[in-house]
Amino acid sequence: MRFYIRSPYVLALPALVVFGLFRGLTWETLVLLAGVLLVVTLPMAAFAMRRKALADEYVPPHAGALGALPASAVFTADRRERRRGLAIVWWGGILASGIAVCWGVAELIEGGGTFVTGSFGGADLLFVVGVVLWVLLVAHFIWTRPALSRGERLAEQYPNALVTTFFMGTTDTISAGMTLREACRASASWWRARVSTHSTVVVDDEGIAFWRGWARLRRQYLLPWAAVGGITPAFVDVDGTGGDGVGLGIELEVRLLEDGRTEGWDALSFRPTRSTLWATYPYRRRDAVEAFAAAIEARRPRAADLFRGTTLAETQELLEEYENAGETDAAAALLDDLRAWRDQRGGALPEGADWLRERLEFR
């Protein structure tokens, strides 16, 4: 109940009282409406509280995920050819069913409900429900099909790359686009900077590329590996609203470079999703999301010798900056992470890491 009182859901109660007084409702009616409102909002607050508890309890793995990516997560080079016939069946089915639905609706309207029984009855109601479901299914197919077609074509062009789909949010895709625009030094205006809700991503030796388009593919952003820091599974809010966009995803540390020097850091959050018609439903399983992070990290050149995407020389500079600025807590946390990274590697460190070996011997 304490979480409910502190959450935005409780604001609906005073709003209801004000509305009721303004409309002249009786207290009995107000109490009844308040009860209905509590029945609706309490479960919503309970789900939100559970999601927050999971986020607070989640601890990212040090060694990444050892499991393989789900088969539905990636596009393969031969997928477009294998599914060409299935796509024709889908489009043919939509066209044929659309003609049947239009004919049925016309009969229902012109006959005043005599499509089946001569008066609007149960069969007519089932028909209307079927039409609504058909509209939703077709809308879902048309919404996701461009991303699937884009991924299939890119998988053909880049057979050795990891081609997959990121869910970047529904209501706010401009923030992610602005972060990428700044990191990639792109010249797009702010209203053209946004990324697709279902962004098709190609991960290879060059970096992480974000593509858009359908008939004409266009690489919107290329985030080079030099600008990519840590790739960490975490609970993220891709929409910034605390709604359905919150869930287990991946947080990408993005380095802002200027003439080869690090000017600052930003974060890019996304949720790995399916590269199928169910792309609107991101993965929720912990093993799948962590496997995504590990698969992206594995594509980084010389990944084994980098700590969070930075060289040990850069890490040493950062550690000295913390110590010179008197930020002892930040320096200690960084050393703890480096110690965990060393343990993950079985105690082995890259060449030229003598300074780190000496520092880690002291706690």
List the structure tokens of 344: 């993950």
Same domain, 358 and 293: no
Domain limit, last residue, from 301, 329, 344: 301
Angle between helices 84-110 and 122-157 (to 10 degrees): 160
Same domain, 284 and 168: yes
Domain limit, last residue, from 17, 35, 57: 57
* Segment among 30-34, 261-265, 327-331 with least mean pLDDT: 261-265
Same domain, 281 and 152: yes
Same domain, 230 and 328: no
Same domain, 153 and 207: yes
Same domain, 143 and 187: yes
List the structure tokens of 301: 């050149």
Work out how many domains the chain is built from and give that number.
3
Q: Report, as an integer, the average pLDDT of 69-98.
A: 78
Residue 232 has pLDDT above 80, yes or no: yes
Q: In whole angstroms, what is the distance from residue 311 CA to residue 193 CA?
A: 30
Same domain, 344 and 265: no
Q: How many residues make up the chain in this entry?
A: 363
Residue 112 has pLDDT above 80, yes or no: no
Q: In whole angstroms, what is the distance from residue 52 CA to residue 8 CA?
A: 14
Q: What is the pLDDT of residue 332?
A: 85
Selected residue with higher pLDDT from 5 and 36: 36
DSSP string, 122-135: HHHHHHHHHHHHHH
Which residue is it, tokens 């995803």? 249
- Contacts within 8 Å (CB) and 24+ apart, 350-359: 350/304, 350/305, 350/312, 352/312, 352/313, 353/312, 355/316, 356/312, 356/315, 356/316, 359/319, 359/335
Same domain, 76 and 144: yes
pTM beyond 0.95: no
Q: What is the pLDDT of residues 165-199, one digit of tens each?
A: 988 887 778 888 888 888 888 877 777 788 888 88
Buried b (16+ CB within 10 A) or exposed e, 314-346: bbeebbeebeeeeeeeebeebbeebeebbeeee
Q: What is the pLDDT of residue 349?
A: 80
Name the nearest CA neighbour of 223 among 201, 194, 241, 247. Answer: 201
CA torsion, ordered 192, 196, 201, 207, to nearest 10 deg: 30
Q: Are 10 and 38 in contact (CB under 8 A)?
A: no
Average pLDDT of every residue of the chain: 78
Same domain, 38 and 119: no
Same domain, 168 and 93: yes
Selected residue with higher pLDDT from 9 and 359: 359
Selected residue with higher pLDDT from 227 and 25: 227
Residue 55 has pLDDT above 70, yes or no: no
Q: How confident is the model at residue 145 (pLDDT cuts 50, 70, 90)?
A: confident
Give the residue numbers spanning the domain of 221.
62-301
Q: Report, as an integer, the average pLDDT of 21-45.
A: 79
Q: What is the pLDDT of residue 64?
A: 43
Q: Report, as an integer, the average pLDDT of 265-287.
A: 85
Same domain, 342 and 233: no
Q: What is the pLDDT of residue 209?
A: 93
Q: What is the pLDDT of residue 211?
A: 92
CA torsion, ordered 46, 50, 56, 58, to nearest 10 deg: -170
Which residue is it, tokens 């960084």? 334
Q: Are 198 and 142 in contact (CB under 8 A)?
A: no
Q: In whole angstroms, what is the distance from residue 237 CA to residue 40 CA?
A: 23
Q: What is the pLDDT of residue 213?
A: 85
Selected residue with higher pLDDT from 163 and 128: 163
Residue 74 has pLDDT above 90, yes or no: no
Q: What is the pLDDT of residues 278-328, one digit of tens each?
A: 888 888 888 888 888 888 988 888 766 777 777 788 788 888 888 888 888
Same domain, 319 and 348: yes
Q: How confident is the model at residue 9 (pLDDT cuts 50, 70, 90)?
A: low
